Amino acid sequence: MGTVKTAQEIQAMREGGKILAAVLDEVVRRVAPGVSTLFLSDLAHERIFAHDAKPSFLGYQPSGSASPYPAALCVSVNDEVVHAIPSAKRMLKEGDIVGLDLGLWYGGMCVDMAVTVGVGAVGATAQKLIEVTRQSLSRGITAVRNGARTGDIGFAIASYVEKNGFGVVRDLAGHGVGYKVHEDPLIMNFGKKGTGEQLLTGMTIALEPMVTEGDWHVTIDRDGWTIRTRDGKLAAHFEHTLVVMDDGCEILTEL
C-alpha cells in the first residue's frame, strides 16, 4: 500500500526534485563523444553534495543484491536498459544513446529521475525510440490522479509504446518513493484499466517506462546490476517523481 505524505514532506521532495532536475540537466550538457561514464557519475556526485543533498543510489543494496551499488549515477548505454555501473574505461561514442538515472536525499526525503539522450548525431531509430519513451512517460503522467489505478498508468504507457512498434520491459517497474528509494505501490509499465492499487492524493510515486527497440525481455550481467536487452537491441528510459493530486498530479522533478 502506498503512503500518503504530509505537506511538509511533499515540500521537501519538491525542493529536492528541483535540485535533482538541475543536477541531471548539468550532467546531460556534458554528454559528448569521448566522455567517460564515470566522469558523468562523479560530476553528479559532486553537484549533489554542492546542494547539501546526498545521492540515494550510492551504497544502495536492495534485498537479494550481492553488493551495494558503487556510484551516484546509473549510466546505461545502448542495449543497457538500467543500472549499468559507470567506469573510467567506458567512453561514450558518437551515435550512442545513454540513459542517466539519478536519485537523491534532501530534507529526509528521496526523489528519483531519469532521461535518455543521444551522444552526438544518432540514427533515426534511436531518435524515435528516445522520443516515444519520453512521450510514453507523459501519457502515464496524464493517467495519474486521486482514485486512479496503477493499471490505468500501465495501460496508457504500453498502448502508446506498442502502437509505435516498440517493446515495454515487463520485469521492471515504477514505484512509490519518498521515505525509501523504492516503496509500494509497484507500478508496471503495462496493465489493464481499472486494475491495481488505487492512488490517493498525497502519494508520491516514480513513473519510469523502460522501452526496447526489439523484444522486451532482459538479462542481468555478472556484476549483478547491469540490466540489458536479451536481443542486444537499444533501450531507453525516462522517469519523473510525482505527487498525486485530487485532479491530476504535480511533477516534482522539473526545473
Q: What does the block give as the cell for 94?
A: 558518437
Q: Is 197 within any annotated ligand binding site?
A: no
Q: Is 171 within any annotated ligand binding site?
A: no
DSSP conformational letter for 86: P
Q: Is 250 within any annotated ligand binding site?
A: no
Q: Is 112 within any annotated ligand binding site?
A: yes
Residues 58, 105 contacting (CB under 8 angstroms): no
Indicate if the alpha-carbon torsion angle 242, 244, 245, 248 is positive or negative: positive
What is the Cα–Cα distance from 33 to 51, expressed in whole angstroms? 28
Q: Is 175 within any annotated ligand binding site?
A: yes
Q: Is 79 within any annotated ligand binding site?
A: no
Q: Is 217 within any annotated ligand binding site?
A: no
Give DSSP secondary structure letters for 166-221: -EE-SS-EEEE-SSSSSEEEEEESS--TT-SPBP-TTBEEEE--EEESS---EEE-
Which residues participate in the annotated binding site?
83, 101, 112, 175, 182, 208, 239
Which residues participate in the annotated binding site for substrate?
83, 182
Which residues participate in the annotated binding site for a divalent metal cation?
101, 112, 175, 208, 239
